[in-house]
Structure 1
Amino acid sequence: MYQPKTKETDSSVIEFIENVDSPKKREDAYQLLDIFTETTGFIAKMWGPSIIGFGTYHYKYESGHEGDAPLVGFSPRKAKISLYFATGDTKREELLKDFGKHTSGKSCVYINKVADIDLNVLKELINQSVKFLRETYPNN
């Protein structure tokens, strides 16, 4: 049976951030930690070795594939900072138009630094993602 690689762990979020090589990325990670915590009301948890997630939901696809994932999250990676928002949400693309300097993948939005983005739009993206996932997966 399929086992997801990214699961919630008991690892320390602060310890993970403290081990980020770049002092600027570390500073950005603490700023994002504050914003995500304040906006969601959830305590940050580590998901796998490198994702800081907030809240959780259980998904189940028509294929039968199911698992748990954070509602939103981020990861201060070496190259860029990855932001995780709901992918099926049509409002995401609209919000990203005013977000600031970023690139998007299928499931991630990538930024170089927090100073490049509009923090009010970030908060809207967080809130919209949580709302969308709660409506899509209501039994959480």
Structure 2
Amino acid sequence: MERTGRDVGEFVAQVTPATRRSDAETLVALLRELTGREPQMWTGSIIGFGACRYRYATGTTGEMPLLGFSPRKAATTIYLDRTDAHTEALAGLGPHTTGAGCLYVKDLAAVDEGVLRGILSDTLRRVVDDELPGATITVLD
């Protein structure tokens, strides 16, 4: 994954539908607050905050944001360290679905912001503290 240099504000202004655009604006503000970093566009329409390098035991390496999300038409995808680490918190979040490391939210206003904030803070802590199973993490910025 790479940073693209695309303007985040221009990208968010073009997001549809309007609910997804509003959710993107809210998440940009929230993740900026949580990370203390400015948003950057990454490959695949991902809005990321900060950057780190990962290395798996297999030797696979790459870069990724410390926290990030992608406002897709069907739902906003929020990237977590892994969803099974947040089972209890996710039970109290509100309407959502999950994948192995993705949280899908169709309407951010329908979820508990405090719970979401806790999940995102915990994910950020695990990434920064290099606590991802099977990977070594080095924070770049």
Q: Tell me: CA distance 1:24–1:118, structure 2 relative to 1, closer, same or farther (3 Å).
A: same
Helix, strand or coil at the partner of 1:99? coil
* Cα distance in 2, alignment partners of residues 16 and 72 from structure 1: 18
Higher strand share: 2
Letter of the 1:76 partner, please give it.
Answer: P
Unmatched runs of 5 consecutive residues or more in structure 2: 131-135
Distance 2:44 2:78 in 1: 15
Contact 2:55/2:137 (CA < 8 Å) preserved in 1? no
Find the counterpart in structure 1 of residue 90 from structure 2: 96
Runs of 5+ unmatched residues, structure 1:
1-5
- Conservation of the 8 A alpha-carbon contact between 1:58 and 1:66: yes
- Alpha-carbon deviation of 1:49? 3.6
| Separation in 1, partners of 2:77, 2:83 | 17
Residue 121 of structure 1 deviates from its aligned partner by 1.1
CA contact (8 A) 1:40 1:126 kept: no
Q: Is the 8 A contact 2:2 2:63 kept in 1?
A: yes
Identity %: 35
Q: Aligned residue for 2:103?
A: 109
State the TM-score, normalizing by the size of structure 1.
0.88
d(CA) in 1 for partners of 2:44 and 2:58? 27
1:114 & 1:89 partners in 2: Cα distance?
21
TM-score by length of 2: 0.88
What is the one-letter code of the residue matched to 2:101? S
**SS of aligned partner of 1:128:** helix
What is the root-mean-square deviation in Å for CA atoms of aligned residues? Answer: 1.5
In structure 2, distance between residues paired with 1:26 and 1:13: 12
